[in-house]
Amino acid sequence: MEETIEETSRGLALRLCLNLRNGLHARPAARLAQEAQRYSAAIQLVSDTGEVDAKSMLDVLSLAPPFNAELTLLAQGHDAREALCGLARLLSTMQD
């Protein structure tokens, strides 16, 4: 997965496509939130249906992004770039 991190007025942004056949259901949502909690940066997950705190499994689950959903990760903080890279790597290697 090639990662293109952009600087925006809201911090760093990374756009990606969700490649999980069953979407971001409970197990991958929990893993994403757990990974996001490793970083001190504030991290938001944005989809067509809303924007949530990526460190909260319930928030991530509430988005219910389906297979092929376009997502954006936004991060602010001293380890924002590292957080986006780590989360992108997790999402690209995660399997249903």
What residues act catalytically?
A: 25
DSSP annotation of 77 reads S
Q: How far apart are CA 49 and CA 65, in angstroms?
A: 8
Residue with tokens 């380890």: 79
Contact 67, 23 (CB under 8 A): yes
Q: How far apart are CA 91 and CA 16, in angstroms?
A: 9
Name 30's Cβ contacts closer than 8 Å, sequence gap at least 6. Answer: 57
